[in-house]
Amino acid sequence: MAQLASFKDRNFIAVIGDEDSVTGLLLAGIGHVNGPKKNFLVVDSKTPISKIEDAFIEFTKNKEIAIILINQHVCIIRNNSNSNFSKINLLIF
């Protein structure tokens, strides 16, 4: 029951994906910018893996994010899951 209580304060969806996917989801209204923090990351062929991993870790630690959407071609970070991985819903599309 304590696990369900921790989800009640989570209000946002984060996305890590290509430009078209992220743009479409932002147009649908999932975008949230709080100063320098964003709940999305646009990935292209020049994006370093370390930046993708850092965004994933930041999203899993953010207490406001309930779901992380990740494009299938970006899901390399699944192998580097941390302890927060099980506390958040992850959808690969």
- Check residue 39 and give its pLDDT: 93
Sign of CA dihedral 40, 67, 48, 34: positive
Quote the pTM value: 0.76
The CATH code of domain 2-92 reads 3.40.50.10580
What is the Cα–Cα distance from 67 to 58, expressed in whole angstroms? Answer: 13
What is the Cα–Cα distance from 47 to 52, expressed in whole angstroms? Answer: 7
Read off the tokens for 72: 């299938």
Taking only the tens of pLDDT, the chain with its 93 residues reads 445 545 566 688 999 999 999 999 999 999 888 888 899 999 998 999 899 989 999 998 888 888 899 988 777 655 554 545 555 666 776
What is the Cα–Cα distance from 88 to 55, expressed in whole angstroms? Answer: 14
- Check residue 89 and give its pLDDT: 67
- Check residue 27 and give its pLDDT: 94
Burial class (CB in 10 A: 0-12, 13-18, 19+), 40: buried
